[in-house]
Structure 1
């Protein structure tokens, strides 16, 4: 599971890196486009500030009055330095706009329909930026259209007619994107790598915990199956060696009584009745062990302690107090029995003390021994998961369990349960009967 968890972490990290790279690329490209527009606006505004006074003093409605050499001389510093790539001056004539001047003379006298939307924006003083389209109007710029932005600035010529200054400004969007990617993408990927590295210990711990929980579940299942099989065998043994022979012998006595006369028959019947009473008492004892909630805590736990005599001395103390519900008695019998079996079987103790009392609606059960102690944080050994089952059963019932132990200092397990629970608790411990042993 640790390997699978690490593989999932690596896969998630790669996917996160790919997604982040895509987002960074899109973001950087948009930044590059926006930076290209800002550059085009800034350059065209500088050019306009330098040449608009000269342009506004000329009449562009009459081609004969356009002094082309003078205009080229005014614009030469911007064109020669590469600050701008192309410039056009549009004059408005009725429903059409035509090129009155351009550094590319082949554009002059060409026209296009009047654009009222563009006119409103320019008349409002807006500087309008467009990308260069691949069409006849831009036929001499289309070979480097990706590196150009066309900017329109409105003005009026010497006779008051509306005119448009169109400036083509070189922009390096690709270079801006590449530079930003070189700077930002490694940082983004480094962030993902650092995050994955920081999560690595957590992923390993989580994988190990999942492995441990899975093993505990498997052990719990095997333990439950083994405990059920052991209980079944114990019950079968009791019935086979005790109840069934007694009933069979009672049947034989009754058969014999039917073939003999008084007073011999009366003796045989009385003997059969005695055997049947013994078998009934034995069956009730077995039934009582299976349904401990039918008895109070003192009786149920008293039988439990009596069945464990022969090892360390066990003292049972049950304080007088409010009545405990059948569900609480059942679970208390099972979890206390499991802890007590652990102490008797595994602790090496000479004395075990069990104390039960009820306070504030809670049942407190303390099992303390003077044995060798153990490490409660250590994983349970295979087949030794009694305390794990106890903990789960208690927590499922809304209770708590506290373990205080240490090497050579003995062990004290305190279990707290609600004094009233409806029915049999779902988280009950299915352990073997006394003498089976469960292990910690």
Structure 2
């Protein structure tokens, strides 16, 4: 090789990159990004939906809980002594007050208790200032009184006069529940409890946290499943495209083999037969003294023989017979022997035990033949290195020469379509073809194909 090779002047042009066809890492990256974005969108929708669902569920659960609590207190503490409470019996009021202050207020979320009569008078409250005062009852509460059963819940209207003391407690919102209580004397009263609103918010947070945790786990499992399915589909698609590419290459090779056989058994044999006939007619013409006619026939015979040699060279190009019978190494040795005979140093390096599918051997041979031919006829090279190296799932052919070189980025001249044909074949097989060269700096052709 030339010792003064100036690498800085070399240019590399990728003529083919079939990995884009078979799905490279960029495809996988795009799939991953799209799935990640989709998963984040789903997560946002799930979290938003979970928030509103948890708010509704928390409100429903808390209202049921405080209604159940209020009804339980009304039935156990108020109803048994309802007539006495209604009459203002101090002993009954004291017993109720002890139960409310000793157990209900400290042990539950209840903030205030009121016991109403049907005319809006407060018979009892843990706030003594309210006892005996009268306030108008809302129509909804009067409906509960008339029904003499059931309960009603809602958010307290702290702007109402009867709730002025609740306003002073610093709470901006309270939940209230009214339960109808019937006395033994047939009178109806309302037992009202005010509950801190923060228990609703806390319950909402607990439900949202549980929902989010379960949702994230489920979403994570779904995302893993999606990624696995996408990866499996992508690998399947790559395998199918690789398989189809191999079948396409094999079909092309079959066509070339049939074409070579048809040409050999048909046109070539006809031309050889014609040359024999012409040669057989040359002798009698000379014997008869028709030397000019004999020379013309001899010229025609030479032209036919030249055509036969060209056709046989074309047959080798279409389908080298020794490649299938003897393998890639033998075919490459046959390729470089005539070049060595012309004084060119050729170094051939490939493993002895290299085994490749037929369509890959043909593709590598054709690329090597094109590179060697260009190096000798166009580049006037004196030294050529031809290397075949398998690595992992790929096989690489490298052909370097010390010839004249050229600008690989320049437009291909008319009639010089060898590299373009190699690039098309590499594209179909899912491989890459790159040429590195510069005027006066030799040439390197590098073909990488998936095995």
Taking structure 1 as the reference length, the TM-score comes to: 0.45
Identify the structure with the greater helix proportion: 2
Structure having greater relative contact order (Cα 8 Å, sep ≥ 6): 2
